[in-house]
């Protein structure tokens, strides 16, 4: 194989998501079974030794597509020539901690990383922010990278999207593969809005098939929106394998395209569509093609949906204002 390897930078490589993610990237699941990959692992100094241990295990897999692993605590080196950057490293939320508490703890990480991406990454860089609060961290990184097109900075709501599909399949007895056009709107937080009004189950409208607004309001939406907290409560640690899986899905879909007739959910800089203030990084329904995405336009938003989208967007504008006050934008 002579193809030039794609440089993939992963921050927080020694963490639990990193451990679930790196082997899938190295095996070809992120970019494709014929795409060689070179990994750059960024950690804080205390994490370097554990990252080296993970790199030893990656070596021991003898992955045919893996062309190199570099481990560093220097963001400029880690993002040098990066084509894809997965910003995972952050402080995870622990029991009883609200996401708002994370803003100041994590904001400081993403500003220097955004600058390092601006100064060192490849021209085609695509960034996915996983570390929470993901949408606002992505905004901080994007604002620190004025030379990179803003749309290359995205935040992960694919885990919420996958959770919603799974809950809807369980309710209706459908296969997950029968469910299309589901949307996560807003923030990756408890205010997010999983919308089934445009979704289809085996070609039929999902909301009409379910026909149970009380289940929608009192069970489905809170179950999906609070799933992260439920996992923390059950595991004593935040979701890791499912988060890594969603990160692989997000980047794979961004690069390889959405299937005909379907869409996905991504946190992306708003262009003002659906009344979401321009510039904030909010989740939308998007289609992807040839490495670019577009917001699905023209969806009819009913009152039920409008109120919930607005509530999540309000939280995002408050987070933006808070990090602006902290001097992070």
Query: Which residue ranges are tagged as binding site for substrate?
Result: 93, 99, 132, 163
For residue 166, what are its two tokens? 């799974």
Answer with the entry of ligand LMR, ligand NAD, none that 231 interacts with (C-beta below 5 to 8 A by kind): ligand LMR
Which residues does the annotation place in the binding site for NAD(+)?
A: 12-18, 106, 113, 130-132
Q: Is 128 in the site for ligand NAD (CB under 6 A)?
A: no
Q: Is 192 in the site for ligand NAD (CB under 6 A)?
A: no
Size of the site for ligand NAD (CB under 6 A): 28
- Least separation in angstroms between CB 322 and ligand LMR: 17
Residue recorded with tokens 């708003």: 270
Closer CB to ligand NAD, 47 or 186, in the complex: 47
For residue 292, what are its two tokens? 């670019």
Q: 166, 176 in Cβ contact below 8 A?
A: yes
Q: Is 47 in the site for ligand NAD (CB under 6 A)?
A: yes
The Cα–Cα gap between 152 and 306 comes to 27
Answer with the entry of ligand NAD, ligand LMR, none that 309 interacts with (C-beta below 5 to 8 A by kind): none
- Least separation in angstroms between CB 267 and ligand LMR: 12
Q: Is 207 in the site for ligand NAD (CB under 6 A)?
A: no
Cα–Cα distances in angstroms (integers) from residue 327 to residues 34, 144, 155, 207, in the given order: 43, 11, 21, 43
Q: Is 240 in the site for ligand NAD (CB under 6 A)?
A: yes
What's the alpha-carbon Rg for the chain, to the nearest Å? 19
Q: What are the DSSP E strand ranges found in 188-321?
A: 193-195, 200-201, 204-205, 264-269, 281-289, 292-295
Closer CB to ligand LMR, 10 or 116, in the complex: 10
Q: Is 114 in the site for ligand NAD (CB under 6 A)?
A: no
Considering only residues 103, 156, 251, 323, which one is a binding residue for ligand NAD as defined by CB under 6 A? Answer: 156
Q: Which three-class secondary structure state does DSSP give residue 66?
A: strand
Residue recorded with tokens 């009819």: 300
Active centre residues (catalytic): 188
């Amino acid at each position: 194989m002579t193809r030039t390897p794609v440089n993939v930078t992963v921050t927080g490589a020694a963490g639990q998501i990193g451990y679930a993610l790196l082997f899938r990237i190295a095996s070809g699941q992120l970019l494709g079974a014929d795409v060689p990959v070179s990994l750059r692992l960024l950690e804080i100094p205390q994490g370097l030794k554990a990252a080296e241990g993970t790199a030893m295990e990656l070596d021991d897999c003898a992955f045919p597509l893996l062309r190199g692993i570099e481990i560093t605590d220097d963001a400029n080196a880690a993002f040098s020539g990066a084509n894809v950057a997965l910003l995972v490293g952050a402080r995870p939320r622990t029991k009883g901690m609200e996401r708002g508490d994370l803003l100041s703890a994590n904001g400081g990480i993403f500003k220097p990383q955004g600058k390092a991406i601006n100064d060192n990454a490849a021209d085609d860089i695509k960034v996915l922010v996983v570390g929470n609060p993901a949408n606002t961290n992505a905004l901080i990184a994007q604002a620190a990278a004025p030379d990179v097109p803003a749309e290359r900075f995205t935040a992960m709501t694919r885990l919420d999207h996958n959770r919603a599909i799974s809950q809807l399949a369980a309710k209706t007895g459908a296969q997950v593969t029968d469910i299309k056009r589901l949307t996560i709107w807003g923030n990756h937080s408890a205010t997010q809005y999983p919308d089934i009004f445009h979704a289809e189950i085996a070609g039929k409208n999902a909301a009409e098939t379910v026909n149970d607004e009380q289940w929608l309001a009192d069970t489905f939406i809170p179950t999906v929106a609070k799933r992260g907290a439920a996992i923390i409560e059950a595991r004593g640690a935040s979701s890791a394998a499912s988060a890594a899986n969603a990160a692989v899905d997000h980047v794979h879909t961004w690069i390889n395209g959405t299937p005909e007739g379907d869409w996905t959910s991504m946190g992306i800089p708003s262009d003002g569509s659906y009344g979401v203030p321009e510039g904030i990084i909010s989740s939308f329904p998007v289609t992807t093609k040839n490495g670019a995405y577009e917001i699905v336009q023209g969806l009819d938003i009913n009152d039920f949906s409008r109120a919930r989208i607005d509530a999540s967007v309000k939280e995002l504008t408050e987070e933006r204002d808070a990090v602006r006050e902290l001097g992070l934008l």
